[in-house]
Amino acid sequence: MKVSFLRHIMTLIAALLTVSTAWGDAPRQKTQYQRRYDAAHPVIIVGDWDKPPYEFQDDTGRPAGTNVEIMTEILDQLDIPYKFVLKEWANALKTFERGDADLILANVGRYRKPPFCYTRNIINYNRIVAVTCGTTSSNISLKELVEAGTVLKPADYTAHYFLEEDSSYLSRLEFQSPKTALMGVLAHDFKYYVWGEEPLKWKIRQLNMDKSGLILNDVGIPVSEIHVIGRDTKLIADIDYIYSQLKQRGRVALINDKWLHPERIRKKTIPMWGYLMIGAVMFALMCYMGTRIARGRVRAKSQRNSELDAMMTRALQMGYHYVLHYDLASRILVNQYGSLLPDEGMSWFDFSQRLHPAERNNWVRRLEQLRDGSIDKHVELSGRWNAGTKDKPIWKHLRGHFAVEQDAYGQPVNIYATIVDKTHNVGLIHEANKMEWKFLQFFQFSKVAMAVYNQNGWIENSNEEMKRICKADAKNARLLQKTSLFDMPMFADAFNESRHDPIFLCHLAPADSDQGREACVEYNVVPLFDYFGRVSNYLLMAYDIKAQSDTYHHLIMCQHECDTLQRYIDYNEKRLKFMLNHSDWTMWELDLRNKMIYYSHTLKHADYVIEFEKYLRQLPPELYDEYKISDESIGLFQGPFHVKRQLNSSAFSKGPCAHDIYGRLRKGDDGSTLGYSGMLHDVTRLENIKKEVVEISEKTKNSAQQKSVFLAQMTHELRTPLNSIVGFSDMLKYAESAGERERFIHIIRTHCDILVRLINGILEASTINDNPMDVKPAEVDFAEEFEYLCQSIEIRVQRHHLRFVTSKPLKKLRVSIDIGRVRQIFSNFVSNALKYTKKGSIWVGYRLEKRNGQMGIYAFCEDTGAGIPRDKQTAVFDRFVKLNEFVQGTGLGLSICKSIVTACHGDIGVESEVNNGSKFWFWIPVEVIEKE
């Protein structure tokens, strides 16, 4: 026994040395942490509030479990303040990931990457199992769990593992709390519930399901390794170090055995002398406790006296109570409690003089008897006492108990009085009496028939109106006295002993012989209760509502007619509103009193309001003086009128508009003029349509004229080359030499070209209205293509004996453009130049030019011909426009050029002066690919 005890002592000393060594070796460099941890800003450790035995809230709401104890010892050794925050696990994860917590104990599957870090040591292991009811299996696969219907804890590690295995599994699983899931498995609502083995065992014991048939089965999910996870690398390293120290000393194993395997903890034996020491300590404790109990009883008695004194004080404070001390030797009364008397006290004579004369002698006599001993030691008195002055008395109703105090010889020494101020109660009684009198007056003279019955149903009192309704003559009065309220036929089934609700019913009395109609009487029986909630009386109220019933019926009929009329009005109002909203008609009203005009599409409210002066400003200036408000203008329209007005703007349009106004004069009951009202028809659209019809008619007439002119021109233009072709074709057989024949053939070819260009122009112009101009951009070298174009143009220019000038700024220019359409534009430009230029030169060229932030090609054709008047320069791009009827052509070339440029989203124009030549140009946006 002694050896065993010495072994225990040595083990304790070794443990203390180890703890002190570990404490000294523990890292202390708090300044290297990411932030300062102190009492105001402790380390926040978030965990699961329902995961026993690792971490949970115990019955007192405090954090408990093996993880909690391990972290508590680690942080205590680090001397770092800490705080555990336990939540539902999904919320705990969100709290940590949001940065509201510093540490969490969890699986590192989702926290392997920065900014998170975790301990190298595994704090705990959580073996995953599946609980089911009555089914045993060696190892259940994930697929079997999903197909059989499995429940998981929300946000648990197992759900993460299912998701990694197959993301489609997650949509087929269900999440419930452990208690709900276990109850569901037991009721066969769920097949499996997958969670940690130790938490499941703990929950099953906690819910008393040990013998319910629940079985734990292995599943194909790896054991969950629990680490301490955080963001502070230094703090995690220190926790790792302290944990290793605790693990080496066996402290971690001891904590795990306490929560996971409590059966492993052995009971330590104590030596015999230890028991003796314990007995001595217990004896000393008993002595100490005896002393403490004795002192406690004394304190309790003193506290009881204090409580009684406090209770008496509170009792006195609850009402208007006073305690007076009357010294018989000095005959002075002073306040013992309260402030009824002045602070210095009052003599008995002064006190008695303030008593009401009616009660004064009685108070003096009874107190003299109490002092002399002729009556008992106790007397009760009540009366009125003046708390004010003699001129302005304030009467208080006092009631007091007076007791005499005697000395050792039986002689009276003092008289003590406890006095209650009943002034407030007397006032309430007075008010209650007034209310009772008013109620009796109301009861007797009310127009409502009332009768009071006792709790047994017998009548006690009734007013005059009730007697009139019941025709209470001498015979009927006796009948009412003998008839119980409960026995009346109309109330026979209404009363119930268990219910005391008010009773309402309507009774049709027999027809009145004088008036020949039934009396409709409404009865209301209301139970009246006493202070204890028991029925003390019944109040019967009766009211003849025949007249009201007839009036109500008449009101119902009138209401029905009004509703029908209102529905008809609403229907027509909706129709009117629909027509006004879908038409150009509007109702208007001019109020001459406030000089405002109201426009409305309904009859209920104004949709637009405008001042009359502002409306006049919208009229033409010549009408302002005519319609401004004056005595002359008020009488301008006496009967219905119709006027048409052109306005610069209105409430319905910002631009010019036209209105047809229909109206009439409004007068009041006294014949005074109130204003005008009527309908307004906005005919702006109709006027615009009329103008458009006129314009279309003019365009149609001009089109017919242009058609005639065009046909005449085409006849002339086609006949001229055809006559030349036919004539010179006939003359070929008469040619005398080869040169003459070659000249005839050249003339025929020239006129054939003219005829082809003429027909192509007609075809191009005919397709402009039907289809938009077809433009097909392609990537080309514009500089090279322009060189070829100049070579063909130069041949045509030299035939007319004119000088040809070109402007080619770039050697290479690759762009995306429809080069065929560009040749067509230049061909038309050059053709026009050749027609109107007899001498001089023709200059063509191009350059890159940016417009509105977009790059494009600017090309031109400039001649030294006749020029174009300034007023005709815009019209030259219209169809069939020819400035010189004697010059060959259809007037379509420039209009085709404009259509091409418009289709390319470009611009076209002319710069010209008469007799100084013309410059036709165009600009087309392009995308420059390459240039030199």
CA angle 770, 773, 779 (to 5 degrees): 155
On whether the CB atoms of residues 169 and 142 are closer than 8 A, the answer is yes
Measured CA to CA, the distance from residue 427 to residue 540 in angstroms comes to 31
- For residue 322, give the H/E element and its range: strand 321-327
Peptide bond into 115 cis (omega under 30): yes
Q: DSSP state, 471?
A: T
As a whole number, mean pLDDT of residues 301-330 equals 72
Name the least confident of 9-18, 371-380, 620-629. Answer: 9-18
pLDDT classification of 509: cutoffs 50, 70, 90 = low
Q: Would you say residue 518 has pLDDT above 80?
A: no
Q: Is 462 helix (H, G, I), strand (E, B) or coil?
A: strand
On whether the CB atoms of residues 205 and 178 are closer than 8 A, the answer is no
Token couple for 46? 């978030």
Write out the E strands in 163-318.
Answer: 174-175, 192-196, 214-218, 224-230
Q: Is 45 helix (H, G, I), strand (E, B) or coil?
A: strand
CB neighbour list of residue 749: distance below 8 Å, 6 or more residues apart: none
Q: Measured between alpha carbons, how far is residue 884 from residues 251, 409, 844, 865, 874 in Å?
A: 117, 160, 23, 13, 16
pLDDT classification of 772: cutoffs 50, 70, 90 = low
On whether the CB atoms of residues 612 and 618 are closer than 8 A, the answer is no
Measured CA to CA, the distance from residue 638 to residue 733 in angstroms comes to 96
Mean pLDDT of the chain: 79
Name the least confident of 294-308, 675-689, 795-809. Answer: 294-308
Picking from 671, 901, 653, the residue whose alpha carbon sits closest to that of residue 768 is 901
Percent residues over pLDDT 70 in the chain: 81
Q: Which amino acid is at 756?
A: V
Q: Would you say residue 598 has pLDDT above 90?
A: no
pLDDT tens profile 33-47? 888 899 888 999 999
pLDDT tens profile 872-916? 877 788 776 766 665 655 667 788 888 889 889 899 999 998 888
For 904, list phi and psi in degrees, rounded to 5. Answer: -90, 5
Measured CA to CA, the distance from residue 133 to residue 148 in angstroms comes to 13
Q: Would you say residue 791 has pLDDT above 80?
A: yes
Q: What is the pLDDT of residue 10?
A: 40
CA angle 535, 540, 541 (to 5 degrees): 140
Helical axes 782-799 vs 819-836, angle rounded to 10°? 20
As a whole number, mean pLDDT of residues 151-160 equals 73
CB neighbour list of residue 508: distance below 8 Å, 6 or more residues apart: 518, 519, 520, 521
Of residues 899 and 549, which shows the higher confidence score? 899
| Sheet architecture: strand order including 174-175 | 174-175, 150-152, 192-196, 128-133, 214-218
Token couple for 511? 């027809």
Q: Measured between alpha carbons, how far is residue 127 from residues 130, 140, 185, 217, 226 in Å?
A: 10, 14, 20, 11, 11
As a whole number, mean pLDDT of residues 481-497 equals 73
Name the least confident of 19-23, 269-273, 350-354. Answer: 19-23
Q: Is 408 helix (H, G, I), strand (E, B) or coil?
A: coil
Measured CA to CA, the distance from residue 612 to residue 634 in angstroms comes to 13
Q: How many Cβ atoms sit within 10 Å of the Cβ of residue 576?
A: 15
For 32, list phi and psi in degrees, rounded to 5. Answer: -85, -5
Helical axes 233-248 vs 251-260, angle rounded to 10°? 80
Q: What is the pLDDT of residue 402?
A: 87
- For residue 677, give the H/E element and its range: strand 673-682
Q: What is the pLDDT of residue 813?
A: 92
Q: Would you say residue 65 has pLDDT above 80?
A: yes
Of residues 241 and 213, which shows the higher confidence score? 241
- Read out DSSP for 201-244? HHHHHHTT-TTTTEEEEEBS-PPEEEEEEES-HHHHHHHHHHHH
Exposure string for 145-168, b = 16+ CB within 10 A, e = fewer: bbeeebbbbebbbbbebbeebeee
Of residues 229 and 319, which shows the higher confidence score? 229
Q: Would you say residue 17 has pLDDT above 60?
A: no
Burial of 175: CB neighbours in 10 Å, binned 0-12, 13-18, 19+:
middle
Q: Rank 175-189, 534-548, 690-704, 773-787 by mean pLDDT and report only the highest.
A: 773-787
pLDDT classification of 747: cutoffs 50, 70, 90 = confident
Measured CA to CA, the distance from residue 785 to residue 276 in angstroms comes to 124
Q: DSSP state, 338?
A: S
Q: What is the pLDDT of residue 513?
A: 46
Token couple for 870? 């300034």
End-to-end CA, the chain:
112
CB neighbour list of residue 170: distance below 8 Å, 6 or more residues apart: 159, 162, 163
Q: Would you say residue 798 has pLDDT above 80?
A: yes
Q: Would you say residue 803 has pLDDT above 70?
A: yes
Measured CA to CA, the distance from residue 66 to residue 73 in angstroms comes to 11
Of residues 691 and 303, which shows the higher confidence score? 691
Measured CA to CA, the distance from residue 137 to residue 439 in angstroms comes to 86
pLDDT tens profile 393-429? 999 888 888 888 887 777 888 888 888 888 888 888 8
- For residue 844, give the H/E element and its range: strand 841-851
pLDDT tens profile 615-662? 777 777 666 665 655 544 555 566 787 888 777 777 666 778 888 888
As a whole number, mean pLDDT of residues 291-318 equals 70
As a whole number, mean pLDDT of residues 268-284 equals 69
Q: What is the pLDDT of residue 907?
A: 93
For the CA atoms of the chain, what is the radius of gyration?
59
Q: What is the pLDDT of residue 860?
A: 95
For 367, list phi and psi in degrees, rounded to 5. Answer: -70, -35
Token couple for 120? 């190298």
pLDDT tens profile 804-855? 999 988 989 999 998 888 888 888 888 888 888 888 999 999 999 999 889 9
CB neighbour list of residue 191: distance below 8 Å, 6 or more residues apart: 132, 148, 149, 150, 185
Q: What is the pLDDT of residue 422?
A: 84
Measured CA to CA, the distance from residue 186 to residue 182 in angstroms comes to 6
Q: How many Cβ atoms sit within 10 Å of the Cβ of residue 818?
A: 19
CB neighbour list of residue 554: distance below 8 Å, 6 or more residues apart: none
Q: Is 645 helix (H, G, I), strand (E, B) or coil?
A: strand
Of residues 793 and 817, which shows the higher confidence score? 817
Q: Measured between alpha carbons, how far is residue 358 from residues 383, 423, 429, 667 in Å?
A: 9, 17, 21, 81
Pairing relationship of beta strands 150-152 and 192-196 according to DSSP bridges: parallel
Q: Which amino acid is at 811?
A: K
Q: What is the pLDDT of residue 848?
A: 93
Q: What is the pLDDT of residue 300?
A: 75
Token couple for 426? 């007397």
Q: What is the pLDDT of residue 633?
A: 53
Q: Measured between alpha carbons, how far is residue 677 from residues 145, 413, 600, 635, 680 in Å?
A: 83, 103, 11, 14, 10
pLDDT classification of 2: cutoffs 50, 70, 90 = very low
Q: Would you say residue 548 has pLDDT above 80?
A: no
Q: What is the pLDDT of residue 27?
A: 44
As a whole number, mean pLDDT of residues 248-267 equals 80
Q: Is 522 helix (H, G, I), strand (E, B) or coil?
A: strand
Token couple for 740? 């003459």
Q: What is the pLDDT of residue 15?
A: 40
Place of tokens 């219910």: 499
Q: Would you say residue 22 has pLDDT above 50?
A: no
Share in percent of the chain as helix, strand, coil (round to 5): 45, 25, 30
On whether the CB atoms of residues 783 and 811 are closer than 8 A, the answer is yes
Q: What is the pLDDT of residue 666?
A: 83
